[in-house]
């Protein structure tokens, strides 16, 4: 394994940066490539067929260009729909991102948990299976919010976030039957941890928010155990399928997270 071979992160936008942080803490000298399908953003409002066709094709091009040691689909929507197809198509290990229902169920005292994701994620049979396997004794409430995805992107561009917009999105869980007893919420979209402060402020009572980023970092560490890495940190590359003013405005946030270069796919 070439010590400079990168770990490739993929998302529809910049939500996957919430996964990059724990991974970089674990592997501080690894070279990272972050790829965002800005031309296809957002995935949460697309059909399953569109995502299942688009994601493997894009990852095939990215793997051919960057020859990564590992691919991380840092997107719940893409993972719940296209993970098996991507793994069959690529000859490198692929780590997916799925809703953290198991740790949420383990943590909940009230046995009412929420799953907050995109519309496409929360309707997936995969979420049904996770709920049945790990939260069968819980009430599992679900709500999809495209608005929170857009707000997270705006926050990373340095724009203002109206707290009432976050509160309105979270009300989609609290207003359901049993929502007043909910004590744990799964952030089933990698964009949503970027709004952690706003979500905590929007909760009507103390709430535990759970996401899968730490588990993904541990999986990356396990799959790359014993591999050779650079001795010193290497600046990362951010790749976008469309580079426009919105992407250029992300420059400071990307640089803060170690991505010094932005290029088009």
Closest CA to 75 of 125, 17, 135: 17
Cα(177)–Cα(157) distance, integer angstroms: 36
Confidence (pLDDT) at 196: 95
Question: Per residue in 80-107, pLDDT tens?
Answer: 999 999 999 999 999 999 899 999 999 9
- CA 44 – CA 146 distance, rounded (Å): 7
Q: What is the edge-to-edge ordering of all strands in the sheet holding 208-210?
A: 139-144, 112-117, 184-188, 208-210
Strands 139-144 and 208-210: unpaired
pLDDT tens, position by position, 132-169: 999 999 999 999 999 999 999 999 999 899 999 999 99
Whole-number pLDDT of residue 204:
87
Task: Please tell me the distance from the alpha carbon of residue 258 to that of residue 236, in angstroms, as a whole number.
Answer: 6
CA-angle at 90, arms to 89 and 92, nearest 5°: 155
- Provide the mean pLDDT of the chain: 95
Report which DSSP code applies to 195.
Answer: G
| Residues classed as catalytic | 75, 189
Interval 168-222: pLDDT, tens: 999 999 999 999 999 999 999 999 999 999 999 999 899 999 999 999 999 999 9
3-state secondary structure of 17: helix
- Partners of 262 in beta bridges: 238
């Amino acid at each position: 394994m070439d010590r400079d071979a990168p770990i490739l992160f993929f998302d529809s936008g910049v939500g996957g940066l919430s996964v990059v942080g724990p991974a970089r803490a674990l592997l501080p000298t690894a070279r990272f490539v972050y790829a965002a399908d800005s031309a296809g953003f957002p995935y949460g409002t697309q059909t399953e067929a569109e995502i299942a066709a688009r994601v493997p094709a894009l990852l095939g091009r990215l793997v051919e260009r960057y020859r990564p040691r590992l691919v991380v689909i840092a997107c719940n929507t893409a993972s719940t729909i296209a993970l098996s197809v991507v793994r069959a198509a690529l000859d490198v290990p692929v780590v997916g991102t799925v809703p953290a229902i198991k740790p949420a169920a383990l943590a909940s005292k009230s046995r009412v948990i929420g799953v907050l994701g995109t519309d496409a994620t929360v309707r997936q049979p995969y979420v049904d299976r996770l709920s049945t396997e790990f939260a069968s004794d819980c009430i599992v409430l679900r709500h999809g919010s495209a608005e929170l995805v857009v707000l997270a992107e705006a926050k990373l561009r340095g724009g203002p976030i109206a707290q009432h917009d976050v509160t309105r999105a979270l009300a989609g869980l609290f207003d359901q039957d049993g929502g007043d007893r909910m004590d744990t919420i799964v952030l089933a979209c990698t964009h949503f941890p970027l709004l952690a402060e706003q979500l905590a402020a929007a909760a009507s009572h103390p709430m535990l928010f759970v996401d899968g980023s730490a588990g993904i970092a541990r999986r990356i560490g396990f799959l790359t155990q014993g591999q050779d890495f650079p001795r010193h940190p290497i600046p990362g590359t951010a790749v976008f399928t469309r580079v426009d003013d919105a992407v250029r405005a992300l420059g400071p946030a990307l640089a803060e997270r170690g991505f010094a270069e932005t290029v088009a796919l």
